[in-house]
Amino acid sequence: MDLNGEEFIPAPRERVWEMLNDPEILRQCIPGCETLEQAEPDQFSAEVVLKIGPVKARFNGEVFIKDKNFPDGYRIEGEGKGGIAGFASGGADVILKEQEDGTLLEYRVDANVGGKIAQLGSRLITSTSKKLAGQFFGKFSELAAQAQTA
């Protein structure tokens, strides 16, 4: 599955970069994220609970940040295992472009799922992924705006 998009973030590019590298900010923004702990400078372990259609699962996994290019962007890759529900793996290229009143964040996601989740069908998985991306960026934009007024 591939998912591409862009979001306007109401904060300077350097601030968006800082937020994208802050485990606490990311934990607050990732839907269903219960824990996100930094194991190494560019490696995190995560526990996320998600419901995709009739399947609800707790995923445990690792996330890696690669190809850092301050403040233009990076690649984030990860894999999570959800027991009998299956697994999810993939990555996203994140590109930050300075705008007059903030930052344009472009993303290109490539993901794979297996197990029970894969049996749900690509349409449900894609629509759920879009919904989750919307929730992530909604919260991320909210936190960025709060940081600007603080």
Domain segments of the chain as ranges: 2-149
Mean pLDDT of the chain: 92
Please provide the CATH number assigned to the domain covering 2-149.
Answer: 3.30.530.20
Comparing CA positions, the residue from 37, 20, 39, 38 lying closest to residue 29 is 20
Judge whether residue 53 has pLDDT over 90: no
Three-state DSSP at 32 gives coil
Q: Are 106 and 133 in contact (CB under 8 A)?
A: no
Q: What is the pTM of this model?
A: 0.88
pLDDT tens digits along 85-118: 999 999 999 999 999 999 999 999 998 999 988 8
* Residue 142 pLDDT exceeds 90: yes
- Do the beta carbons of residue 62 and residue 44 sit within 8 Å? yes
